[in-house]
């Protein structure tokens, strides 16, 4: 078996497994602009917890939210590569798969913004928890309904 083929199949060696995982993340960071943006924002947000009086449990939510967005962006990258490998030509099902995958990233980002409003809004702007709740309602109800309306109007223009 050639070295490249062996490398692609993975490894039972723990050290090599970590090396492959790190290579995958680094390759994704290099090739995906949005992932670089999410990493940069995530780093800034987590760094802010060192300088602001963020409670322990709130810090956990912040870290979870950052990891969740980055995880969803990595999964989106996997799905995009798989769809591109499957076909280079336009196909309506591939478009739906890619759009839904991107939607997962958007959904994770809305969750993270909600967490950020809950944690940092109170500390920086003395916002009540109600503001975060309102944003969460807008994200979970109004945003999808508005998106449906906008997408339908885009499709009518085509």
Distance CA(36)–CA(25), nearest Å, equals 11
The DSSP code sequence of 88-116 is SS--HHHHHHHHHHHHHHHHHHHHHHHHH
pLDDT of residue 7: 64
pLDDT of residue 8: 66
pLDDT of residue 9: 67
Q: Are 76 and 101 within 8 A, CB to CB?
A: yes
pLDDT of residue 84: 95
| Residues recorded for the chain | 158
Q: Which is catalytic among the residues 16, 23, 73, 130?
A: 73
User: Within the chain, which residues score under 50 in pLDDT?
Assistant: none
Residue 80 labelled as part of a binding site: yes
Residue 86 labelled as part of a binding site: no
pLDDT of residue 121: 96
**Domains in the chain, ordered, with CATH?**
12-157 (1.10.287.3610)
Q: Are 80 and 98 within 8 A, CB to CB?
A: yes
- Strand, coil or helix: what is 151? helix
Residue 89 labelled as part of a binding site: yes
pLDDT of residue 1: 59
The DSSP code sequence of 28-71 is HHHH-HHHHHHHHHHHHHHHHHHHTT--HHHHHHHHHHHHHHHH
pLDDT of residue 72: 98
Q: Are 105 and 34 within 8 A, CB to CB?
A: yes
pLDDT digits (tens, 9 = 90+) for 70-111: 999 999 999 999 999 999 999 999 999 999 999 999 999 999
Q: Are 10 and 20 within 8 A, CB to CB?
A: yes
Distance CA(62)–CA(68), nearest Å, equals 10
Respond yes or no: is residue 16 known to be catalytic.
no
């Amino acid at each position: 078996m050639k070295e490249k083929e062996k490398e692609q199949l993975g490894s039972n060696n723990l050290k090599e497994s970590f090396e492959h995982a790190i290579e995958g993340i680094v390759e994704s960071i290099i090739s995906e602009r949005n992932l670089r943006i999410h990493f940069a924002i995530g780093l800034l947000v987590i760094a802010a917890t060192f300088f602001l009086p963020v409670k322990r449990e709130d810090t956990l939510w912040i870290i979870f939210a950052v990891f969740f967005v980055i995880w969803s962006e990595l999964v989106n990258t996997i799905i995009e590569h798989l769809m591109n490998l499957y076909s280079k030509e336009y196909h309506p099902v591939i478009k739906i798969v890619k759009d839904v995958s991107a939607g997962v990233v958007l959904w994770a980002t809305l969750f993270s913004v909600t967490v950020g409003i809950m944690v940092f809004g109170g500390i920086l702007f003395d916002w009540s928890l109600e503001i975060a709740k309102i944003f969460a309602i807008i994200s979970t109800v109004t945003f999808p309904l508005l998106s449906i309306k906008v997408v339908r109007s885009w499709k009518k223009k085509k």
